[in-house]
Amino acid sequence: MNPKVIKFLKLLQQNNNRDWFSENKQLYLDAKAEFDDFVNHLIADIELFDASVRGLSSKNTVYRIYRDIRFSKDKTPYKRYFSAYIAPGGRKSKMAGYYIHIEPGNCLAGGGLHCPAKEILNEVRFEIYNNPEEFTGIIEDNSFKNLFGEIIGDKLIRPPKGFPKEFPLIEWIKHKEFITAHPFPDELVTNNKFIPYLLKVFKTLKPMNDFLNRPLIG
């Protein structure tokens, strides 16, 4: 990826206001065009091992840089990062997918299922309940653990209704979301091995995404 992306984001971190943004709009447009092009290439490569993302582009996967500040105490108008969610249906998808986040000092790649609706979450919980060994095999795989550590996300304090508390994987049943995150250094963004690196991360994530999505497409 062209260094102009990180350069712009570093400047934005120091000048997160409308006047500066307006005066430097071309810097933003150039950086966004570069990020969009990068995402398009990334999607094309992901398609080679995950056909579910076929037909997507930066247009329906990249998030807007403008923040919704209506109900936030933080009134800075712009996000300090570029990001995209690559999943069936694009960034508004209800399904598990792949997430890329470029933010100086906080770059990461990951995915999974973020804040699913109640009915979707219930389907995923039953999928874990009915296939505990398969789920455990995915999250305990050495490659998965080395890249992501553990699945993160909000959890219930008590088991949800309909699931016995003595179930061996009850702590996973308590999860309200299933998120993975793999941080990487800023320097990697401009390296010519960046896309191959991301593809390794996303290929490792795919079995979990497939598991989470199975009850949603069955």
Q: 179: helix, coil or strand?
A: strand
For residues 146-163, average pLDDT: 94
pLDDT tens by residue, 9-53: 999 999 999 999 999 999 999 999 999 999 999 999 999 999 999
Residue 218 has pLDDT above 80, yes or no: no
Strand order in 108-113's β-sheet? 82-86, 97-102, 108-113, 178-183
Count Cβ atoms below 10 Å from residue 48 Cβ, excluding itself. Answer: 9
* pLDDT tier, 72 (very low <50, low <70, confident <90, very high otherwise): confident
Q: Is it the case that residue 216 has pLDDT exceeding 90?
A: no
Total number of domains constituting the chain:
1
Per residue in 172-203, pLDDT tens?
A: 999 999 999 999 999 999 999 999 999 999 99
Which residue segment(s) compose the domain that 140 sits in? 4-217
| pTM, 2 dp | 0.95
CA distance 60 to 89: 8
Kindly state the average pLDDT of the residues 135-140. 97
> In sequence order, what DSSP letters do the residues of 84-147 get, joined into one string?
EEESTTGGG-SS-EEEEEE-TT--EEEEEE-S--HHHHHHHHHHHHH-HHHHHHHHT-HHHHHH
pLDDT > 90? residue 71: no
Tokens encoding 165: 């508390």
CA geometry: angle at 12 spanning 11 and 13, to 5°? 90
User: Tokens for 199?
Assistant: 């593809």
How far is C-alpha 14 from the chain's CA centre?
25
d(CA 56, CA 44): 9
Angle at 159 between CA 173 and CA 99, to 5 degrees: 35
Helix (H/G/I), strand (E/B), else coil: 101:
strand
Instruction: Residue 111: give its domain's CATH number.
Output: 3.30.930
Q: In this predicted structure, what is the pLDDT of residue 123?
A: 95
Residue 74 has what pLDDT? 85
| pLDDT at site 78 | 96
**For position 69, what pLDDT does the model report?**
84
**What is the model's pLDDT at position 217?**
82
